[in-house]
């Protein structure tokens, strides 16, 4: 269901909001965050034994009023705060009932529970950050690997914003030159941009778009959890390898062939992201309804697999035609004999741990299709990609007939402005209420 901006309370910037900003459940500390005109006063009314004068942005120790429990307080004065408003953070004992009681006290004095993403929304509205940086905050929270975290951090720190600003400036300058040729052709000292120079600039802009795609990680890929399936004949060591990769006993292991009758799934963390690892039943002839059902279930699993790992103990045991493409071939039980063979398969030992780290790395590399180095990557979500495609499409139309900059500059200017608008919408320089509502409604409360 579409979430419309008009149905969200974000437009109310003159009230004070409160949210829990620490993990749910019991803990050593619970954190309440407030933002708004009355944030400081509301927090101070709950605390006794505060120093005078109050130090800004420094830890203040006190006690909760009536409860006589220790409390820490941090005060931030706008605009030098995250949201740009007056803010306060209450650090309480991590007792859920106590935290809810304090929230109820704050609500009685006029505070409102924050909606998802409302703190970041206020920061955007008051000029503390752009939309792409705010999306980076959410992406960092949900990152599932070091690579995703690094790419999300680049987004949060403004890498996409800086790129968009540079691109926008170049587009705006080019648009100004084209429009100058439209408006001031009768001025002897103002000439339209030449076709060769115009063509050079357009190609340069499109090259920058291409480079951004090459040095980015798509959020759709980060959200998609690939599936890797272990396949092989009965008693090939699949279940033992499954447990070894996970680092814990998850599948039943037995010397009796055919112990695994159903596909078993668990999450496997790789250096490239989290993969759903599945252990499938071994290949057997359809001699009974049970074996036929097992084979059918395995084939259904393989059809959805992103990575297929053939596990075999013997070099002569080649994959069956029904397995489809094999991405990784593994020689299992390497501790029971020679660790290498002529097939150059990866030798692993579930008992000794040989090759387990290498196989985990290889599964992640195959599943996500990228190297572990992500320092230069930026995380792009579906909204970013859609705007970049619109910008590139507009520039592509221009590059097809650059001579129109002299014969039909109005058409060229229209496409350049379309590209400029698309780039501007990435950072929120040009945005709509609907876009803002959809973005921030997906945030965690308190962020």
Parallel/antiparallel/unpaired status of strands 227-232 and 216-218: unpaired
pLDDT digits (tens, 9 = 90+) for 353-371: 888 999 998 998 888 765 4
Backbone dihedral angles phi then psi of residue 104, each to the nearest 5 degrees: -60, -40
Task: Provide the pLDDT for residue 391.
Answer: 93
Q: Which residues of the chain have pLDDT under 70?
A: 1-11, 49, 145, 181, 183-192, 217-224, 250-263, 282-301, 315-324, 335-344, 369-376, 429-447
Task: Provide the pLDDT for residue 189.
Answer: 46
For the stretch 68-71, contacts whose Cβ atoms lie closer than 8 Å and that sit 24 or more positions apart, written own/partner, are 69/93, 69/98, 71/46, 71/47
Extract the tokens encoding 126: 């008051």
Contact predicate 236/309, CB 8 Å? no
Task: Provide the pLDDT for residue 192.
Answer: 62
3-state SS, residue 74:
strand
Distance between CA atoms of residues 123 and 132, nearest Å: 12
Distance between CA atoms of residues 363 and 270, nearest Å: 8
Task: Provide the pLDDT for residue 257.
Answer: 44
- φ/ψ bin of 68: left (φ > 0), alpha (ψ from -120 to 50), beta (otherwise): left
Distance between CA atoms of residues 408 and 414, nearest Å: 10
Name residue 63's beta-bridge partners. Answer: 48, 70
Q: Which residue segments constitute the domains of the chain, with CATH numbers given?
A: 5-129 (3.30.1360.120), 133-215+378-428 (1.20.120.430), 223-368 (3.40.50.300)
Task: Provide the pLDDT for residue 185.
Answer: 52
Contact predicate 377/217, CB 8 Å? yes
Q: Is 333 exposed, middle or buried (0-12, 13-18, 19+ CB in 10 A)?
A: buried
Give the single-character DSSP code of 69: -
Give the single-character DSSP code of 5: G
Sheet with 70-76: list strands edge to edge: 47-48, 60-64, 70-76, 87-94, 27-35, 17-20, 112-113
Backbone dihedral angles phi then psi of residue 61, each to the nearest 5 degrees: -95, 140
Q: Is 164 exposed, middle or buried (0-12, 13-18, 19+ CB in 10 A)?
A: buried
- φ/ψ bin of 31: left (φ > 0), alpha (ψ from -120 to 50), beta (otherwise): beta
Q: Is the dihedral of CA 122, 126, 127, 131 positive or negative?
A: positive
Distance between CA atoms of residues 174 and 193, nearest Å: 9
């Amino acid at each position: 269901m579409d979430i419309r901006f008009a149905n969200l309370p974000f437009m109310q910037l003159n009230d004070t909001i409160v949210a829990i900003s620490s993990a749910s459940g019991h803990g050593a500390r619970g954190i309440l965050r407030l933002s708004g005109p009355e944030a400081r006063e509301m927090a101070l009314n709950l605390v006794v034994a505060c120093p005078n004068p109050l130090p800004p942005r420094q830890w203040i120790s006190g006690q909760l009023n009536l409860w006589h429990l220790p409390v820490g307080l941090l005060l931030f004065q706008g605009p030098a705060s995250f949201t740009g408003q007056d803010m306060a953070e209450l650090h309480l004992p991590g007792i859920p009932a106590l935290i809810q009681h304090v929230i109820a006290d704050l609500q009685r004095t006029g505070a409102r529970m924050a909606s998802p993403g409302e703190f970041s929304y206020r920061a955007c509205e008051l000029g503390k950050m752009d939309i792409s940086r705010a999306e980076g905050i959410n992406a960092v929270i949900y990152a599932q690997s070091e690579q995703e975290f690094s790419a999300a951090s680049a987004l949060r720190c403004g890498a996409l914003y800086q790129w968009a600003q540079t691109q926008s400036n170049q587009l705006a300058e080019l648009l100004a030159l084209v429009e100058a040729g439209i408006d001031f052709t009768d001025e002897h000292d103002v000439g339209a941009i030449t076709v060769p120079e115009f063509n050079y600039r357009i190609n340069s802009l499109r090259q920058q778009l291409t480079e951004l795609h090459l040095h980015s990680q798509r959020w759709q890929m980060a959200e998609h959890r690939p599936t890797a399936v272990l396949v092989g004949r009965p008693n090939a060591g699949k279940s033992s390898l499954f447990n070894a990769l996970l680092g814990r006993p998850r599948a039943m292991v037995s010397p009796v062939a055919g112990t695994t009758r159903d596909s078993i799934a668990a999450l496997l963390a790789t250096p490239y992201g989290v993969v759903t690892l599945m252990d499938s039943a071994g290949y057997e002839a359809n001699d009974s309804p049970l074996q036929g059902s097992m084979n059918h279930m395995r084939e259904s699993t393989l059809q959805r697999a992103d990575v297929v790992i053939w596990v075999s103990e013997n070099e002569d045991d080649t994959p069956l035609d029904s397995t489809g493409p094999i991405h990784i071939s593994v020689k299992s039980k390497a501790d029971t004999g020679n660790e290498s063979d002529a097939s150059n398969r990866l030798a692993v030992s579930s008992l000794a741990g040989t090759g387990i780290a290498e196989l985990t790395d290889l599964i992640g590399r195959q599943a996500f299709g990228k190297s572990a180095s992500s320092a230069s990557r930026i995380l792009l979500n579906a909204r970013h990609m859609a705007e970049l495609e619109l910008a590139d499409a507009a520039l592509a139309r221009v590059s097809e007939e650059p001579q129109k900059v002299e014969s039909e500059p109005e058409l060229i200017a229209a496409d350049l402005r379309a590209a400029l608008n698309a780039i501007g919408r990435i950072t929120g320089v040009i945005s709509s209420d609907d876009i803002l509502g959809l973005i921030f409604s997906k945030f965690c409360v308190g962020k």
